[in-house]
Amino acid sequence: MAFEVILKKPEALTEREFTYCPGCTHGIIHRLVAEVIDELGIREKTIAVAPIGCSVFAYQFFNTDATVAAHGRAPAVATGMKRARPDLYVFTYQGDGDLAAIGTAEIVHAANRGEKITTIFVNNAIYGMTGGQMAPTTLLGMKTTTTPYGRSAENDGYPLHVAEIIKEARGVAFLARTKVNTPQDVVKTKKAIKKAFLAQIKGLGFGMVEVLSTCPTNWGIDPVSALKWLEQHMVPEYPLGVFVDKVGDEQ
């Protein structure tokens, strides 16, 4: 009986062990980005821009040139890189504090300009690295360390729907919201990430995937239950789908 490898660690990931909590879906998404980079053959021409947040260490995990941007500013850093070197591929990887709180101006304008960069937006409805505070994407009624009585619309406003805002920017060439709480959804997310990179490779414009993700530690539940919680609570709030697709069928 001979066996062949069909699935293994992608080239575009280093050997470093991830610093994420057990069951945190950041790790899945990192792997998907790396698989896509490998399949598109662009590892040696890609620069990763890591955010401030749990994934600040992404610069260690991706086997590409990498930097860490100031909080929220990754799309601006990526813009600077891409304008300096349009021949390279640049992606940002950002959480909900980085992209949807402090970084709203930068992401909106990068999308509006149709910057040929790719953004992976990890939405887990909470701030991870700083210990579980409210994020703009936190659901109403959700208890966090800064909404101990549950988020109230009156005081704290509503969960921010980033994909719906970004879809209005005409520079967007690909935009989707997916989730990673089942193996099938992981496959769908990978397809979306690939298209978001193809938007850049084909020179069509800005590409982004918003990925609904879990944060077992700060949600206060175990990793497997967190997958179900996402389904029950986040999916009703954040509709899944492809919002913009100028990429068409993959070649």
- As a whole number of angstroms, the distance between CA 72 and CA 34 comes to 22
Tell me the per-residue interface mask from 202 to 221 with another protein, x by CB under 8 A, - otherwise.
--------------x-----
- As a whole number of angstroms, the distance between CA 206 and CA 219 comes to 32
- Please name the residue that has the structure tokens 């792997």: 31
Segment interacting with another protein (CB under 8 A) among 56-64, 137-145, 147-155, 171-179: 56-64
Interacting residue with another protein among 33, 36, 47, 208 (CB under 8 A) = 47
In the complex with another protein, which residue's Cβ is closer, 227 or 247? Answer: 227
Interacting residue with another protein among 17, 41, 149, 232 (CB under 8 A) = 17
Residue 93 and residue 33 in contact, taking contact as beta carbons nearer than 8 Å: yes
* 230 sits near another protein (criterion: CB under 8 A): no
Interacting residue with another protein among 105, 150, 158, 203 (CB under 8 A) = 105
* 84 sits near another protein (criterion: CB under 8 A): yes
Nearest to 164 by CA among 114, 195, 210: 210
Record the tokens describing residue 87, joined without a space: 């021949």
* 28 sits near another protein (criterion: CB under 8 A): yes
Least CB distance to another protein at residue 128 (A): 13
Nearest to 208 by CA among 249, 168, 158: 168
- As a whole number of angstroms, the distance between CA 250 and CA 238 comes to 26
Least CB distance to another protein at residue 176 (A): 18
* 64 sits near another protein (criterion: CB under 8 A): yes
Q: How far is CA 124 from CA 54, 82, 242, in A?
A: 11, 28, 19
The secondary structure element, H or E, covering residue 50 is strand 46-50
Contacting positions for another protein (CB under 8 A):
1-10, 13-14, 17-18, 20-28, 31, 43-47, 49, 59-60, 63-70, 73, 76-85, 88, 105-106, 109, 113, 182-183, 186-187, 216, 222-224, 227
